[in-house]
Amino acid sequence: MLLDTPICDFGWKAPEFTLKDPFGESFTMSQHLGNKGLLVMFICNHCPYVKRIGHRLAEDTKLLMSQGINVLAVMSNDYQAVPADSPENMKAFIKEYSFEFPYLVDEQQSVGKLYDAVCTPDFFGFNKDGELQYRGRLDDAKMADDSSRTPELLNAMKMIAETGKGPQQQSASMGCSIKWR
């Protein structure tokens, strides 16, 4: 089912969480909330929207991370019901798209619920104080040709890193619904 994310609730505080990646390493949100902010995104392996933006997402997040903006990805889908999203398949997905950010398994779906994640992809851009400043889309290309795209997430996260505030105008992300138990 295709869903859109809600508008940004500016100032909403990022809930704490600790999750493991598919290799067993633990990551805690607050330890990644750097002085230039943090991007927390909800993605999965099987969603055609995530697959379509996978390489752009890898490139944009690589650039953000090189500028000191931290990135965590969370997979909250019920992978018992959707085996394509299993931790083993997450490992292959990481390799296929050359993701350099931690891609975490939300086994109990508790983080997805804490963040009120709606779809994949769902992007949450936080400033250094853990205040939400962006809840929009990756870019304006959607599922079409991306050769002349506007990298909205990249631009927003750079703005947040520099000013602590996100853009007032944001376009909702859209994608597949999260597969809840």
Classify residue 21 by its DSSP letter: -
77 Rama class: left (phi>0) / alpha (psi -120 to 50) / beta = beta
pTM of the model: 0.96
One-letter amino acid for residue 11 of the chain:
G
Element (H, E) at 152: helix 152-163
pLDDT tens, position by position, 63-108: 999 999 999 999 999 999 999 999 999 999 999 999 999 999 999 9
Using the structure block, give the residue that is written with the tokens 């493991």: 20
Joined together, the tokens standing for residue 121 give 């992809």
pLDDT tens, position by position, 3-59: 778 889 999 999 999 999 999 999 999 999 999 999 999 999 999 999 999 999 999
